[in-house]
Structure 1
Amino acid sequence: MTQRINYVQQSPELFRKFLEFSNQLHESAIEVTIRDLVTLRASQINGCGFCVDMHVKEAHIHGERELRLHHVTIWRESTLFSPRERAALAWTEVLTKLPEHGVSDDIYEQVRTQFSEKELSDLTFQVMAINGWNRASIAFKAVPGSADKAYGLDKAQLA
């Protein structure tokens, strides 16, 4: 696969601002384990190879267990995720797929039992950010693994 254009070079200021926004999420009320699960799941749903590759490596660096990473696609059937993680994954899926009639009260209430208002707001911004990155990476065919060294993902030693 060959990247179409380098959107970082073409729109450096917009890239910098979006990266700044995404980096600010590291200071959010959402723990790193859930951030890793959310970014991986949204990237899987969207079919973003660059981002799936990146977020598997990030999660590995953060100490995530390999089996849990394999189970993210089957999280509903898996016994490896806590109720809070399941709620985050459900929220990620509904916001990534956006049903025709919006987010149901049932899903909102399910998620609301696991997250404070602040946490739910921060989680929503996390989902917004990864969906934005997915769209840029898919549109311009970002090559999986091509930014490993720049982002320190070579430390995952998963190549």
Structure 2
Amino acid sequence: MTQRINYIQQSPELFKKFMEFSNALANSAIETSIRDLVSIRASQLNGCGFCLDMHVKEARIHGERELRIYHLATWRESTLFAPRERAALAWTEVLTRLPEHGVADDIYERVREQLSEKELSDLTFDVMAINAWNRANVAFKTVPGSADKAFGLDKANLA
């Protein structure tokens, strides 16, 4: 795959601001392990190889088990995810692939059983961010693994 343009070089000020936004999410009410799962799942749904590669490596660095990463594509059938994680994954999927008539009340209510209003709000910002990153990297065909050294992802030892 050949990258189309380097959006970081073309729009450095916007990239910097968006990185600041994304970095602020590390202090959200949502734990790192769930943020990792959300980033991987949204990237799978959006077909973003760059982000999928990055977030799998981050998850491994953060201690996520390989089998849970393998099961993410079929999280509904897997017994490896807790109710809180399932709620976050359901919310991720519905916001990543918005239904024509919006988010159904039953989905919202199921998610609200597991997450506080603050957590749900913060999770929504997490989902917004990964979807935006996916769109930029899919649009410009960013090469998976091309930023490993810059982001310290070589520590995952998954090359």
* TM-score, with length taken from structure 1: 1.00
- Partner residue of 1:81? 81
> 1: distance between equivalents of 2:142 and 2:88?
27
Q: 1:92 and 1:34 mapped to 2: Cα distance?
A: 11
CA distance in 2, matches of 1:41, 1:19: 20
- Offset of 1:118 from its aligned partner? 0.4
How far the C-alpha of 1:140 sits from its partner, in A, is: 0.3
Tell me the secondary structure at the aligned position of residue 99 of structure 1.
Answer: coil
Partner of 1:45: 45
* Secondary structure at the counterpart of residue 102 of structure 2: coil
* 1:105-116 equivalence runs, <5 A: 105-116=105-116
Consecutive unaligned residues in structure 1, runs of 5 or more: none
Which letter maps to 2:51? Answer: C
State yes or no: 1:99 paired with 2:91: no
**Structure 1 stretches of at least 4 aligned residues deviating more than 4 Å after TM superposition:** none
Secondary structure at the aligned position of 2:40 is classed as helix
> Who is 1:131 aligned against?
131
Aligned residues: 159
Inter-partner Cα distance in structure 2 for 1:152 and 1:111: 33
Q: Which residue of structure 2 aligns with residue 32 of structure 1?
A: 32
5+ residue gaps in structure 2?
none
Deviations 1:116-157 (CA, angstroms, capped at 9, x unpaired): 000000000000000000000000000000000000000000
Q: Percent identity?
A: 81
Alignment pair present for 1:153 and 2:153 = yes
Give the partner amino acid of 2:95: L
Residue-by-residue CA offset, 1:39-80 (whole Å, 9 max, x unaligned): 000000000000000000000000000000000000000000
> What do you get for the CA RMSD once the two structures are aligned?
0.3
Alignment of 1:113-124 (within 5 A): 113-124=113-124
Q: CA deviation at 1:81?
A: 0.1
